[in-house]
Structure 1
Amino acid sequence: MSRMESRGEQAVILRVGTFREIDCWVRFFSPLRGIETGFAFGGRRSRRRFTGCLDSLNHVRLDLEAPRSGRYLTLSQGTLVHRFAGLHRDMQRMGMAVNCIKFLEGAHTGADQAEPVFDLLLAALDVLNAAPDVPATFPLLFRAKLACTYGYAPEVNLCGVCGVSLSSMESGSFSWRGGYALCAGCRKRAEAGVMDNLDLSRLGLFLSGSPEEWARTGRPKPGDSNLWQVLDFFVQHHTGLQWTRGRFRRV
């Protein structure tokens, strides 16, 4: 064969753009490839090969072809699995979904870990599409979970310096630079990048939880501003990404 083929590959469409009158490029995320860009020749007019599927945030199945030289990827056919219509009717939730997608594009590390990241992305879109209520903190929780999936998961049950269990502590300290919790003794010797008075159990639940759980438990509570700050600092420090002028940029 002069070309390599893949049939019925799952993907989420991230972006679509036109490069000729009837042709388009498609940026998508798949559990096998991570983020890829392919060309759908005739994709703007074909009602048979791409019926209703070449729109951003659609969950689709794609038939893909590529020359063995690997020069470019071609989408030969697509089938719509789920459109997430609820997102398109709610601009606030659409904004949250776009924020999650932009962070995913910035943090992407290739095909490594693509399968669990794909599952996380689908679960997040399902919640944003249909959950009765979604807290404004949802994109931050998605970013933190994605950072954990890419290998930055912190230790919150043991002191990251001496190893003592923190299970009996109602609140504690967390080094967002080091990515670990601290007992009272080690906190006194810690350098910069530490935040105090955190509900470590709640932090652990967020980092180990699912999008469905965030929708129920992710609303801020009085006095827990440190918790959200440490999540934001942790993500920025370990991924190197910061929201600036409508996009995530490396800092």
Structure 2
Amino acid sequence: MAMNFSEEEKKKMLEDDSEIYQKREDGLDANNGELKKLKGRQKREYFRQYYMGTVAVIVVVAILAVLFFKNAVEKKPQCALYIAIEDDVLDEEKVTDFEKAVEKYLNIDGEKEYVKIDNGTDSKQVQTYIYSGIIDVVIASEDTYKTRAKEGCMMEPSADDTVSFYKDYDKDKQFFCEYVSGEDVRESEKTANEAESADGKTYNFGLYLDGSEKYTKSLGGLVKKPVIGITATSKHKEEAVQFIKWMMK
């Protein structure tokens, strides 16, 4: 049902000055010129109060967007060859210079790739890195290298053609040892280092690096009879092969 008001009631409603009939004046109306009346400091205060929060959010979002785009476009240099040297203490400056020499030999673009020579990681961490496929080449003393090879961490020609070039060197340069399987260890009831292979066969897991001037002079290596070889999990086999051949010259 529609409500009908008398002329007197309509007039009373229009003249009523109660708050519900008044136009709100708790803010400034830019359309009616109120904002234009403000002076410099008042305008800054008005801007800070009503717009600063929104502007700050927009700026933060813009910065995050730029950083995200930059990281997505710019690719970080990737490791082209990771070499772990155990049982030796090398001068850091010589290691850095040698890394650059290897990069130059392998024709590696330093802005996109790099060579890493790791001389400070402990034995257990090296083993973890090998299992994870991080390390490509290992240089170590006979005893340490034998431990790696017995565990199946290193390549050998009969299992992978990548290292068939080992056979090109004299017998006295080829490193041989047994491969001890998990079954061999369980049956012998000894540790992996003490256990022996059931079949007694030996395999060519690496090359002796003694006499290499690059190792003794360029790197300053002190191990008397170091062994070098490629890990079974290497992700950069081609570079690893080139590096070992270069070291053996």
TM-score, normalised on structure 1? Answer: 0.24
The structure where strand makes up a greater share of residues is 1
Which structure carries more helix by proportion?
2
TM-score, normalising length: structure 2: 0.24
Bigger relative contact order (CA 8 A; separation at least 6)? 2
